[in-house]
Amino acid sequence: MKVYRVVFSPNAENDLLDLAIYIADHSSYERAMNYIARIETWCHELGMLPMRGADHKDIQPGIRVAGFERRATVAFHVGQDTVTILRILYGGRNLDAALDEI
């Protein structure tokens, strides 16, 4: 079984930071850190199962999008040996607009 390396784009890292701040402000720091840890773990699991989610080759070949715990959307690119997490959007943010930024 091939294992892919998983990397987070700067946009995805910023999305995680923004999400952590939002959750901490609206709930608690502990809840924010637990949620971010779960998202990061899920993203790293894409290294073993990179073909999850829906194929969005209409945007760009290799782009896939999957939901996380019914509240977040993860957009990622599956390359030859690497899965790049492109964006992590929370609570119905506009996916098309976010992907236009990549």
Tell me the pLDDT tens digit for each residue of 15-27.
999 999 999 999 9
Q: Within a 13 Å sphere around the CA of 26, how many CA atoms are in the beta-carbon half?
A: 6
Q: What is the pLDDT of residues 18-69, one digit of tens each?
A: 999 999 999 999 999 999 999 999 999 999 999 999 998 887 778 899 999 9
CB-CB neighbours of 7 under 10 Å: 16
The Cα-based distances of 78 to 15, 32, 48, 52, 65 in angstroms read 19, 28, 11, 10, 11
The pTM of the whole model exceeds 0.85? yes
For domain 5-100, the question of CATH label 3.30.2310.20 is answered with yes
